[in-house]
A and B are shown apart, each in its own frame.
Chain A
């Protein structure tokens, strides 16, 4: 199984809502990532988890809160978002951190719209 799954596919939320994005992989990968991608732009790294511990936070606002409950799951909790946070949120995984050329496996993303 070389698949990363993400739920939901689409999410519409108001600025006062709290929601969560979920990501799952069963490839035994120990590095997992959240990227944000705006339309016609490249993915931008947000967070990196290595062995279920937060390794990198790319100065992301606190209204985004990541969580890695176990080695297969990655969540992104959303609270008090702004309309400019509307984007495609991509989850990815790789075997481990620290392998510069290692393939990252991306999920299909959650398309988030903040009203």
Chain B
């Protein structure tokens, strides 16, 4: 089976940088995805890391260390609109469907 651990809540100041960590235990690992979900909204895809290292997409970056079973999402130049829940997720048995972590609720304050 798969299990993913991430902090339940994080608060950060507008304009700052925040890192959301995710550790995982999986029977077979293919990669780590990140999704954002605003209250009342649909999850939206942010990134996928299959290999070790940092992937950057605008203000958001995602990092993976397969040897440490660890990844993180880095959000820079935080904006109020970044207040949302962030989920790390892994494919089920190497397939496309996802098992999600419990989510980290990010609150950006002025």
Contacts and interface: CB of A to CB of B under 8 A. Distances in A.
Interface residues of B, number: 23
Nearest to B90: A100
B41 A108 contact: yes
A106 to B, nearest CB: 4
A106 B33 CA distance: 14
B43 A100 contact: no
Given A42-B87, A90-B43, A109-B42, A101 B48 contact: yes
Contact of A48 (B42, B94, B97, B101): B97
Contacts of B100: 42-44
Contacts, number: 66
A109 B48 CA distance: 23
A57 to B, nearest CB: 11
Interface in A1-49: 4, 31, 33, 40-45, 48
Given A42-B101, A45-B97, 8 more contacts: A48-B96, A56-B97, A97-B95, A100-B91, A101-B33, A102-B96, A105-B45, A108-B41
A76 B97 CA distance: 18
Interface string B65-95: 0000000000000000000000100011011
Interface string B31-45: 101000000011111
Nearest first, the 8 closest Cβ-Cβ pairs linking A and B are A42-B100, A101-B48, A100-B30, A100-B91, A106-B42, A103-B45, A106-B43, A101-B31
A104 B96 contact: yes
A41 B44 contact: no
Given A42-B87, A101-B91, A108 B42 contact: yes
